[in-house]
Amino acid sequence: MSSSFPHPAQLYHGLFRSFVRADGHPALARHEAPPASVPDPETGKPLRVATLDAGGPAICPSCTAQGFGGFVSFEPELRLAYACPQCRQFVWLPGA
Ligand SMILES: [Zn+2]
């Protein structure tokens, strides 16, 4: 995709940082100091981050590119989000 990236501090709510793997693919890693919560996209209320998982291959639900992005789960609600290194979206997945 193209070039107007959000400010790095805003990217993925600061949960992940992006880097380029040795094989040239963009990938994400856990941020060293991730926030404890991120705002709910609908209500704006803070959702507590339960787990951060980065670096595994996954298909982005937004741009459908395969990439090495990051998954976030939240508590107490069973919500999941995917951070995409290709389109740089923070994609909320349908709740379980
Ligand atoms: Zn994507």
Ligand 1 center to 25 CA (angstroms): 13
What are the residues whose beta carbons fall under 8 Å from the beta carbon of 19, sequence distance 6 or more?
Answer: 26, 27, 28, 29
User: How far does residue 66's CA lie from ligand 1's centre (Å)?
Assistant: 8
Q: Are strands 58-59 and 46-54 parallel, antiparallel or unpaired?
A: unpaired
Q: What is the pLDDT of residue 5?
A: 52
Residue spans of the domains in the chain: they are: 11-93
Please report the pLDDT score of residue 2 as a whole number: 43
24-45 pLDDT per residue, tens: 999 999 999 999 999 998 899 9
Residue-level pLDDT, tens digit, the chain, 96 residues: 444 555 555 799 999 999 999 999 999 999 999 999 999 988 999 999 999 999 889 999 999 999 999 999 999 878 999 999 999 999 999 765
How far apart are the CA of 82 and the centre of ligand 1, in A?
9
How buried is 73 (Cβ within 10 angstroms: 0-12 exposed, 13-18 middle, 19+ buried)? middle
**Phi, psi (rounded to 5 degrees) for 11:** -65, 130
Across the chain, what does the average pLDDT equal? Answer: 88
Indicate left, alpha or beta for 88 from its phi (over 0: left) and psi (-120 to 50: alpha): left
For ligand 1, the distance from its centroid to the CA atom of residue 1, given in whole angstroms, is 9
Centroid of ligand 1 to alpha carbon of 50 (angstroms): 22
